[in-house]
Amino acid sequence: MLAEAPGAVALIAGDAGAPLGLALFRVVADEAELLTIAADPDSRRRGVAECLLAVGREMLRGMNVATVFLEVGAANAPAISLYEKTGFHQIAMRKDYYAFSDGGRDDALIYKLEIN
């Protein structure tokens, strides 16, 4: 664990002291939001993010969190695959939510996970 404060849970995965990834959740009452998740580029596709989500889920369950939400860009296929593989399901979409400096736009997909 990297840090824990009222309303926030941050997890870090490491190998011999070197950080491999992190996940940051915000908790309010019995709901949480995954704010960010990242893996070191050299550690991607090795299960780091999936492990962080599994550990985060168990920590949140211990905090009596019932539901976790997240938002992801519709074009982010690797992240969407990870979230769906770990039990999240899409519940909504925000059309053209993201605007990029090159003028491009992307929809935001809203995902939900029930923790039982």
- Active-site positions? 71, 83
Q: Tell me how far the alpha carbon of residue 74 is from its chain's centroid.
A: 15
- Residue pair 48/64 in contact by the 8 Å Cβ criterion: no
The CB density around residue 46, as the number of other CB atoms within 10 Å, is 15
